Amino acid sequence: MKKLLSRRLIFILSLLVAVFFSFIIFELKILPLKYYIPLIVFVFVILILLYRGEKDKENKHLIKVTILKAIQVLISIILVVASLYAMKGSSFLNSITGGGDQTIEMDIVVLKSSSYQALNDLKDVSFGANTAIDAININKTETLIEEEIGDIEIQPFTTHNETVQALNSGTVQAIVIKSVDYETLDDVEKGFKENTRVVKTFEIKIPSVKANSAKVTQEPFLIFISGTDKRGPISTFALSDVNMIAAINPKTKQVLLTSIPRDYYVDIIGMDGVTGKDKLTHSAKGGINCTIDTVENLMGIKFNYYAKFNFTSFLNVVDALGGITIDVPKYDVIGRDDGVFTTKLDKYTIKPGVNDFDSKHALSFVRERKAFVEGDAIRGKNQMIMIKAIIKKCCSPAIITKLDSVIESLEDCFETNMEASDIKSLINMQIDDMSAWDVQSFRLEGDDTKRAFHLATVGDVTKVNPKGLFINEPYAESIEKAKQYIQIIMEGKEILKVKEE
């Protein structure tokens, strides 16, 4: 025991721990050299001074020696813990960056009134599918089905309407459809989901979107931000409720968030077998790459990266940050003239002015739309207000003590095709100068009283609603204004104040 507690052995072990810590922090690459070098020098100097102070051949200062040894051991433990946290942070960045495969869920659907309970019950029955859309993945699903129950034949249809009618009439006993499409079949026939059930879901992997890499600390870049509320893995196809363009200029420290309404009526680009106009949110049926292509076509831009998150889970970041402060604008509220509104979710009463939110209040705040005269337009504005507040707090010195909890809150709810090295470079830059960022926002506007009778990914909707479904018809002048603001950011010019249309 005496040898184990010898000053020389403790010093050697402490040096090894310090070397390990130095290597981990250097490899993490988020601490600027102007901080890294003094930190490492300080650690080694302290260890050496402690070792020299423990020298006491005549045993005259045993208490002093014992205290110095304890301090040395404590410092070593702190360095080990710090190294482990750094490794955890690096591992987390590696897990959420670089893209990764997307997952398409394909459902096998039967009528609820039928006797079919499992895939094996569907041997020798007729299948149907809308092969005019996503024929490739329907063929892949056909192969997966045949691996389990033997040969089948899928009867082709050209619209979802035809496919639904074939199932209802008994022409086919089961249909093959993408899960994210199944979610919208009530737009084809009211109550369809309630009258059917899924007997099997297959998963198909496809490559994610490749990044158009930029020097993120030296030049401006564009990120497409997609927010979903679907439970399960973030890589799974899901309708996007939040669609934003983030124009970021690291030189001028400016960020412009441009929000696009989920019901914006746009040309759908890049989805197999789909041509024509539809709600922007429906472009996500073709994966985030389809939504990116659609927005790029709408705005005349080229994205460098995407960031995808589950909006409900993402708001756990609010709690990890110790809450968030929001200056709530005074909106036109239905039935009131003081701007106070009650959220449908959890029935929170929110007043105009400064509010401190936890994650539950934050989620209720950004979900609310029916309380406002302008409806979904206000929900989009509130989503941007929330994201701006989160970015602001994440860029403050307070993030240093909360970094671990923020990392844990983001696990399994965030994905980007940026490389980990790019994010580390941005963190390094922020720690280096601790500059405040100017985060501004703009929302694309349109006429949300318009209706459509045909949606490119859904088909004819007049059977369910002869008046058509609500859409948001884009205002050309709003799109042009957004393009101008984005261009100003990309050119490194200063926007003093974005003017909302």
With cut-offs at 50, 70 and 90, classify the pLDDT of residue 2: low
User: Average pLDDT of 62-86?
Assistant: 89
Return the CATH number at 124.
3.40.190.10
- Regarding whether 351 and 434 lie in a shared domain, the answer is yes
- Regarding whether 263 and 201 lie in a shared domain, the answer is no
**Where a domain ends, among 76, 96, 116?**
96
User: pLDDT (tens digit, 9 = 90+) per residue, 192-220?
Assistant: 999 999 999 999 998 888 899 999 999 99
**12 within some domain:** yes
The pLDDT, as a whole number, for residue 61 is 63
Angle value at C-alpha 234, between 230 and 240, nearest 5 degrees: 50
The pLDDT, as a whole number, for residue 501 is 46
The pLDDT, as a whole number, for residue 93 is 84
Residue 92 has pLDDT above 50, yes or no: yes
User: In the chain, pLDDT over 90 holds for what percent of residues?
Assistant: 58
**Where a domain ends, among 66, 96, 126?**
96
With cut-offs at 50, 70 and 90, classify the pLDDT of residue 231: low
- Regarding whether 227 and 183 lie in a shared domain, the answer is no
User: pLDDT (tens digit, 9 = 90+) per residue, 354-396?
Assistant: 999 998 899 899 889 889 988 888 888 888 888 888 878 877 7
- Residue 283 near residue 181 (C-beta atoms within 8 A): no
- Regarding whether 173 and 57 lie in a shared domain, the answer is no
With cut-offs at 50, 70 and 90, classify the pLDDT of residue 499: low
Q: State the residue range of the domain holding 199.
A: 102-206
Q: Which of 63-77, 93-107, 131-145 has the highest mean pLDDT?
A: 131-145
With cut-offs at 50, 70 and 90, classify the pLDDT of residue 400: low
Number of domains in the chain: 3
> Which of 12-26, 277-291, 299-313, 340-354 has the lowest average pLDDT?
299-313
- Regarding whether 449 and 482 lie in a shared domain, the answer is yes
Q: Position of tokens 């934050």?
A: 362
Residue 59 has pLDDT above 70, yes or no: no
The pLDDT, as a whole number, for residue 312 is 67
User: Average pLDDT of 271-275?
Assistant: 86
* Beta-strand relationship, 127-130 and 242-249: unpaired
Residue 6: CB atoms within 10 Å: 13
- Regarding whether 291 and 392 lie in a shared domain, the answer is yes
**215 within some domain:** no
- Regarding whether 242 and 187 lie in a shared domain, the answer is no
- Regarding whether 282 and 392 lie in a shared domain, the answer is yes
**500 within some domain:** no
**216 within some domain:** no
165 vs 150: CA distance, rounded Å: 26
**159 within some domain:** yes
Residue 57 has pLDDT above 60, yes or no: no
- Regarding whether 76 and 50 lie in a shared domain, the answer is yes
Identify the DSSP state of 418. S
pTM of the model: 0.84
**227 within some domain:** yes
**78 within some domain:** yes
CB burial of residue 15 (10 Å; 0-12, 13-18, 19+): middle
The pLDDT, as a whole number, for residue 374 is 86
Residue 275 has pLDDT above 90, yes or no: no
Tell me the pLDDT of the chain averaged across its residues: 89
- Regarding whether 258 and 189 lie in a shared domain, the answer is no
- Token code pair at residue 61: 């200062």
Helix axes 476-490, 288-299, angle to 10 degrees: 100
Alpha helix positions (H), 54-201: 62-96, 135-149, 160-169, 179-182
The pLDDT, as a whole number, for residue 342 is 93
| E strands, 369-467, in order | 414-416, 438-443, 446-447, 451-452, 454-455, 459-460
- Regarding whether 225 and 189 lie in a shared domain, the answer is no
**Where a domain ends, among 64, 96, 128?**
96
- Regarding whether 294 and 172 lie in a shared domain, the answer is no
- Residue 94 near residue 418 (C-beta atoms within 8 A): no
**401 within some domain:** yes
Return the CATH number at 240.
3.40.630.190
User: Average pLDDT of 339-368?
Assistant: 91
User: pLDDT (tens digit, 9 = 90+) per residue, 113-159?
Assistant: 999 999 999 999 999 999 998 899 999 999 999 999 999 999 999 99
The pLDDT, as a whole number, for residue 5 is 59
DSSP secondary structure of 207-252: --PPP----TTTS-EEEEEEEE---S-TTB----SEEEEEEEETTT
- Residue 295 near residue 306 (C-beta atoms within 8 A): no
